[in-house]
Amino acid sequence: MVEDNHNHFCIYCGARLVPNQHFCSQCGKEVYHDLAPSIKASSIYEAKIKKIEQEYDSKQAKAKELVDKLFDPSHMSYSKFASAIEKSNQLFANQLKITQKMMELDSSDVVNRQIEDKINVLNAFVDKMEDLINELVIQLSSNKHDNDDINNLFNDMDDLIDSVKDY
């Protein structure tokens, strides 16, 4: 029973009720109070999630553009980068969908903590995409063929993808 003081009359006999009354003084039936409207988590997180989604979309498009500029499609690195970006896109979209479904739930501490966790995961994708862009820009501007930095970046992206799969 939730008390919100919106019911002023007994639903059984029509007798007037006083605020916080638990039983009708006329018929003795238990007084059920209307549930207060619940706040959906979407109202709290909607703009934040939308911003993350837009930021990710922009960064992954930039990363694709840089991969196209840097590598010939027949080059092994092109396939590796394109595959990593596509895998990242799929996992990001999956995490985004889960987060949006969670936002449809009634707001509670547990739900909000889970949404915050998902937001952190989504931001990690944005950060890794930014790292990828930065590394590609360095590669493009220096024309160096040092694969250590690229391999480290791939390893970081793979670690992120694996951690999201485990989550």
Using one digit for the tens of pLDDT, what is the confidence trace for 74-100?
988 888 889 889 999 999 999 999 998
* DSSP code string of 39-92: PBTHHHHHHHHHHHHHHHHHHHHHHHHHHHHHS-TTSHHHHHHHHHHHHHHHHH
pLDDT-based confidence at residue 53 (cuts at 50, 70, 90)? very high
Average pLDDT, the chain: 80
Task: Write phi, then psi, for 29 (nearest 5 degrees).
Answer: -75, 150
pLDDT in tens, 98-121: 998 888 887 788 888 899 999 999
Tokens 């930065």: give the residue: 134
Segment among 37-41, 51-55, 65-69, 152-156 with least mean pLDDT = 37-41
Does this model's pTM top 0.75? My answer is no
For the CA atoms of 91, 46, 98, 65, the dihedral, rounded to the nearest 10 degrees, stands at -10
